[in-house]
Each structure stands twice: as structure tokens, then as C-alpha cells.
Amino acid sequence: MPTDASVGARVAAIGAASFRRTLAAVERRTYEVRTFGCQMNVHDSERIAGLLEASGYVAAADGTTADVVVFNTCAVRENADNRLYGNLGYLVRTKAQHPGMQIAVGGCLAQKDQRTIVERAPWVDVVFGTHNIGSLPVLLERARVEQEAQVELLEALETFPSTLPTRRESAYRAWVSISVGCNNTCTFCIVPSLRGREKDRRPGEVLAEVAALVDDGVLEVTLLGQNVNSYGVEFGDREAFGKLLRACGEIDGLERVRFTSPHPRDFTDDVITAMAQTANVMPSLHMPLQSGSDRVLAAMRRSYRAEKYLGIIDRVREAMPDAAITTDIIVGFPGETEADFAQTLEVVERARFASAFTFQYSPRPGTPAASMPDQVPPEVVAERYQRLVAAVERSAWAGNQACLGTTVEVLVAEGEGRKDDATARLSGRARDNRLVHVAACDARPGDVVTAVVTYAAPHHLVADEVTGVRRTRGGDAWQSRRDAPTEPSGVLLGIPTVRA
């Protein structure tokens, strides 16, 4: 067996990558990625999984303890910290019982807290940031070889995460990142300081990835960016996003295009027209409002006002009468008065949202809003929050009731219907992204079911009158993934021989 010194020399000689693959494949080290936060993190976690599998790791089976646990963290909410350190605390004993186990922390909280993480949790082996996801396998190996925690973060993007290997969650749906970072400076948000200024992928690169995904059996893509409407700002084309949507319309086999998150300030009419005139762009729009009060929007530095927001919604509905509009709303922003909140409720009424993510404001250290005067007392925030949820629920229910008796086309999805087994139904999303539970039929996840809506609840529809089942390439892709034998994706290279 070669000595430590010669192993080091060989590693240098044959290149860390194949050594990592050999080592991990031989040892079949398993991994688990725990994802917190937004879709951008879900997308990045698929890259983290893809990277580890390309380095010879295999996904840990459910219920087993993985050799490597990666936390892909979020920094948006106050309790994000507590949750991470709570999880890390819980893993101390597990790690003690599993020699060789490694813990890595990445994502926005890692980018924010950096070395503090290993100071507060010295049993963490690797800390990496939002700009250098690609370094994870090397850092894991360096931590193992040197028996020392590795903390490596960059202030600017190393490589676009989309260029890294991926292990996609779904066989028939995919996230496609078109930009990372954000040039806005909303006073409650920490994203720009953690993900940097906006960087745009070239349209050709995005479209090539979409076409490759469609070849793989993907039916639906969601274009992803912190602010998709300003896409193209980096290469000087203000209409790049509308053009990208139209170009997606040219890709054969791509049935559904969605996008998140748009920003009302940059939401231009060419995007509305592109949505309406491109058949595979879905009639659903998630556009964060945050507040209905112009005074609060100004304090949030959102650069639009309520009337502009409602004007966009009106023009979207003119162009696509069946469009479902959803949003994000923060209640209890510093300085928010009862009158401000009443304006938010009024906009909710007029916008007729299909649903909304509603948040009680909590100060995020490091954001301007956290040190603003007139922080609203938590009990006042909680009371307003209840009224906001009730208003959104009324609007959502009214919208769903208007769907009764209509025919919907549902892309069947895995894991969308918690009660499916009990109710013998399948679940998925309609074209306008409403959640629909359909009567059981011979459809697989990825297939498309056409059915008549027979019941409307505040947050979902039931369509028990199935009028058609279309088996799709997406369903085939799901089937072949499900039936594929689980093989470690690492290539067994055997002990490398060094050529003189």
C-alpha cells in the first residue's frame, strides 16, 4: 500500500478531481442536501447534488445517516439563523456516532456569517458561499485530508451555477436560472449583499439549456432570477426578457414556460404581449406587491406605487383574461400605520389574487429597515396578519369558485397532493398554476390530464370528471427514472497508476 507522501504526490499528479471520484466511489460516500429558502436555493441544491454525484458520491437512502450533510441556507428571515444552528446542534451526537461524517454549510447564511459558523459550530467541516458552489467537493476533500475546517467564500461569482453538473429533483419540470444577484436595494432585503449585483446569462446559453432539458423529457421550465424583468441589463438589451419568452415559444416539445420573480418597477408591456402571444408561456404571474401603501413602498425603496402595480395587473388581464395572479406581501413594515395597512387590504381586494405568500415583517440584521424607527409591535403585526390572510383567502376562494365547471389541463406532479392516497386522487398544476386534485386515472407524474372542475376550495380545485389522459415524454422520463436501477453515479477508476 503506497505511503501518505506518495499518495499526496499522486493526487497532485493525477488531479484532484479523478482522485476525489476514485475515493468517493470506492467508499460510496453518501450525501444529503437540506435546502432552506427560495427557488434560487432549490436550483442551487440541484447543482450541489449534481456536483457531489459527479464526484462519485451517491444520494443517501431515506432514513439513513449520510456521510456528508450539506445545508443550503437562507438568510431572509430572523429565525433562519436559529434554525441552522439548531440543526447543527442536533447533528453533534450524530457526527460523534458516525466517524468520517462531514457537515458543510452553504447558501446565503454562510455568505453572511462566514467564519462565525465554525466558531459557533466547530464540528462543521466546510463553509462555502453563494458565489463558489463549485468548490464544495474540493473543500470536502481538503477538510478530510487536512482534518481541518475549510471556510472559503468569494465576494463575486466564480462560475454561473447553471454551468455546474445537476441532479434535478423532477424528471418533467426544471428550474432554469437566467440571472443571479440583484441591482435593487429594497430596504428589508439582504439578497443584494449576499448574492451581489445582477449577472445575466446570455440568451443563447439559456435557450441551449432549455432545449437540452426538453430533449431529456422536460415539459415545463421555470425561468429563475431575483428580478427576471431586468434580465438583459448586463448586456444592454432592455427587452431581452420578452424576447427570451418568445424564443422559448419556438422550442418544440416545451409545453409550459413559467418565470419567477418579476419586479413591478421593470415590468414592461413587451413582456405582457410576449406572454399573451407565446402559446407555451403560461397565464400565471407571481408579482410581489409587498405593500399597498405608497408611503410604505417608498420606505421599502420598491420604486413603484400601488396604482402602477394595479395598472400592470389590469393590462395583464386585458391581454390574458384567465391569468392567475399571485403575490408576496409583508405586513408590519416599520412605520406602517393602520391607514397604510388599510391600503394594502384595498389593493388585495382590487387585484383579486389567486393566492399570496404573506409574511409578518421581522427585522433582518444588516438591512436598512432593521434600524428604522417605529418598529411595529409584534402583537399589532400578528393581528394585521390575520386580517390579511383572511382577505387573501376570500379573494383566492372567489377565484377558485369561478373555475367551477370549467375544463382544466393538469400536469400531474409527484408529491403535490398530501391526501392523494386517502382520496384516491392525483394532483398537479393547471396552466394558470392553480393546484388541482383530479380523480384517479391511468396517468403518471409528468402526464397531462384534462378534467372538469367539480369543487373549489380556497387553496385548491377538485376535478373529478376526467375527460382525457395524455401520456407524455415527461411521463416517460419520470417512468424511466423510477424504473432505472440505482447505480452509484461515480465511475470506479480503480487505484490510479502514475506514468513516469
The piece of 98-106, 152-160, 187-195, 465-473 that touches ligand SF4 (CB under 6 A) is: 187-195
Nearer to ligand SF4, 192 or 253 (CB): 192
- Structure-block grid coordinates of residue 457: 376550495
Nearer to ligand SF4, 108 or 117 (CB): 108
Of 21, 112, 263, 473, the residue at the interface with ligand SF4 (CB under 6 A) is 263
For residue 169, the one-letter residue type is: E
- What is residue 235's DSSP assignment? G
Tell me the closest approach of the beta carbon of residue 160 to ligand SF4, in angstroms. Answer: 18
Residue 329 in contact with ligand SF4, rule: CB under 6 A:
no
Residue 41 in contact with ligand SF4, rule: CB under 6 A:
no
Residue 186 in contact with ligand SF4, rule: CB under 6 A:
yes
Residue 446 CB contacts under 8 Å (≥ 6 apart), including other chains: 171, 172, 217, 219, 411, 412, 472, 473, 474, 475, 476, 477, 478, 479
Residue 192 in contact with ligand SF4, rule: CB under 6 A:
yes
Residue 222 in contact with ligand SF4, rule: CB under 6 A:
no
Residue 184 in contact with ligand SF4, rule: CB under 6 A:
yes
Count residues binding ligand SF4 (CB under 6 A). Answer: 9
Nearer to ligand SF4, 57 or 359 (CB): 359
Residue 432 CB contacts under 8 Å (≥ 6 apart), including other chains: 282, 283, 284, 322, 323, 324, 354
The piece of 22-30, 138-146, 181-189, 470-478 that touches ligand SF4 (CB under 6 A) is: 181-189
Residue 191 in contact with ligand SF4, rule: CB under 6 A:
yes
**Residue 135: closest CA among 112, 113, 158, 118:** 158
**Residue 163: closest CA among 245, 51, 59, 53:** 51
Task: Report the distance separating Cα 474 and Cα 95, nearest Å.
Answer: 39
**Interface map 456-495 toward ligand SF4 (x if CB under 6 A):** ----------------------------------------
Residue 182 in contact with ligand SF4, rule: CB under 6 A:
yes
- Structure-block grid coordinates of residue 460: 385548491
**Residue 256: closest CA among 413, 426, 67, 52:** 413
For residue 17, the one-letter residue type is: A
37 dihedral zone (left: phi>0; alpha: psi -120 to 50; beta): left
Nearer to ligand SF4, 45 or 227 (CB): 227
Residue 278 in contact with ligand SF4, rule: CB under 6 A:
no
- Residues near ligand SF4 (CB under 6 A) are 182, 184, 186, 189, 191-192, 226-227, 263
